[in-house]
Amino acid sequence: MKKFVKKISLFLLIFSINSLINLSSANQRIVIAGGSLTEIVFALGAGDEVVGVDKTSSYPEKVKQLPQIGYWKLLNIEGVLSLKPTLFITLNDVEPDNVIEKVSESKVDVLALQRVPGTIELLYENIGKIASKLNKQKEGELLINRIKTNLADIQTKIATHPQKTKVLSLMSMSGTNSVAGKNTTIDALIAIAGGENLAKHNSFKSYTAESIIAINPEVIILNKYSIDQLGGLDKIATIPGITETAAFKNNRITIIDDSYLFGIGPRVDEAAKLLFQSFYPE
């Protein structure tokens, strides 16, 4: 009888501890700096616990109605703390440099995650860490498996196209053509989707009309913000040099949503599928 009582007592103790852990997790007030991290939290089913985000967080739609804490490279520390977070999920290279330290000193739990390199492996790692912190391990595994399955399907299709499509990604701002090179999210997405980024420089660089004509991409990627800056789709031809490219002449201009470009996130398979279809149309 005593053994039975001990077993029951142990069971109730474990049950109580688990209940407290789950209750603690369910009552989180999460503030996030990093659009891809915000998407992960929502994809794990913890979106209702998010009380503030940075300006790069624009997906899902309901995120746009949350209080903002500034751009991830210029965060408002007071803005973060004013939201009374219990958990601050952030990229580890946010600025100003003392943000993470100051938030931690205010007795807020901080989960700082790597932003680079922008790889699928890092995405899986970050999903795992966030899922563990939020007690959403099962959801994390399901999310990772979904992405892996969808990307494997795309890789199988890429294998049937040994000749890679030549791609250039432009961001048009105030009349300047900024081209995305290595160590950018769109460069990683181009590679995942089976294309070849013709820009070999690091980060972003302005190209002249002559440079765009000389490089002559088969596909040009523009983001929606650039289209807005130009004044609409019908203004694409005003980008200096673009009308002389094979991409323009063959009507192979791909428009990608800006929310895909703030880091490799849980919709990477969706973005890769969109790009693959534009690189290798049936």
Domain assignment present for residue 156? The answer is no
- Report whether 33 contacts 54 (CB < 8 A): yes
pLDDT tens-digit profile of 21-42? 444 445 799 999 999 999 999 9
Whether residue 79 is found in the same domain as residue 209? no
Position 202 scores a pLDDT of 95
Final residue in a domain of this structure, among 91, 118, 150? 150
Q: What is the spatial distance between Cα 216 and Cα 220, in angstroms, rounded to a whole number?
A: 9
Final residue in a domain of this structure, among 85, 119, 150? 150
Position 174 scores a pLDDT of 63
Domain assignment present for residue 209? The answer is yes
Buried b (16+ CB within 10 A) or exposed e, 215-236: eebbbbbbbeebbebbeeeeeb
Position 177 scores a pLDDT of 81
Query: Domain range for residue 97?
Result: 2-150
DSSP state for residue 277 in the 8-state scheme: H
Whether residue 273 is found in the same domain as residue 225? yes
Domain assignment present for residue 99? The answer is yes
Mean pLDDT of the chain: 91
Supply 18's token pair.
Answer: 């688990």
Whether residue 222 is found in the same domain as residue 84? no
- Is the omega angle on the peptide bond into residue 162 within 30 degrees of 0, that is, cis? no
Position 276 scores a pLDDT of 98
Whether residue 265 is found in the same domain as residue 209? yes
Whether residue 38 is found in the same domain as residue 6? yes
Domain assignment present for residue 270? The answer is yes
Domain assignment present for residue 82? The answer is yes
Question: What proportion of the chain, given as a percentage, has pLDDT over 90?
Answer: 83
Whether residue 23 is found in the same domain as residue 132? yes
Whether residue 105 is found in the same domain as residue 40? yes
Q: Mapping DSSP to helix (H, G, I), strand (E, B) and coil, where does residue 170 land?
A: strand
Alpha-carbon distances, residue 194 vs 70, 186, 198, 273, 276 (angstroms): 35, 12, 13, 10, 7
Domain assignment present for residue 155? The answer is no
Question: What CATH number should be reported for the domain holding residue 271?
Answer: 3.40.50.1980
Q: Mapping DSSP to helix (H, G, I), strand (E, B) and coil, where does residue 278 land?
A: helix
Whether residue 6 is found in the same domain as residue 146? yes
Final residue in a domain of this structure, among 98, 116, 150? 150
Position 6 scores a pLDDT of 52
- Report whether 193 contacts 167 (CB < 8 A): no
Q: What is the spatial distance between Cα 77 and Cα 74, in angstroms, rounded to a whole number?
A: 9
Position 172 scores a pLDDT of 76
CA 196-199-201 angle, to 5 degrees, is 130
Position 24 scores a pLDDT of 45
Helices (H), 66-116: 77-82, 99-105
Q: Mapping DSSP to helix (H, G, I), strand (E, B) and coil, where does residue 207 land?
A: coil
- Report whether 269 contacts 151 (CB < 8 A): yes
- Report whether 167 contacts 195 (CB < 8 A): yes
Position 20 scores a pLDDT of 43
Whether residue 97 is found in the same domain as residue 185? no
The amino acid at residue 18 is N
Domain assignment present for residue 95? The answer is yes
Say how many domains are in the chain: 2
Whether residue 135 is found in the same domain as residue 195? no
- Listed as ranges, residues in the chain with pLDDT below 50 are 4-5, 11-25
Q: What is the spatial distance between Cα 94 and Cα 259, in angstroms, rounded to a whole number?
A: 18
Whether residue 14 is found in the same domain as residue 121? yes
End-to-end Cα, the chain, rounded Å: 72
CA nearest 209: which of 247, 235, 239?
A: 239
pLDDT tens-digit profile of 82-140? 999 999 999 999 999 999 999 999 999 999 999 988 899 999 999 999 999 999 999 99
Domain assignment present for residue 121? The answer is yes
Whether residue 117 is found in the same domain as residue 232? no
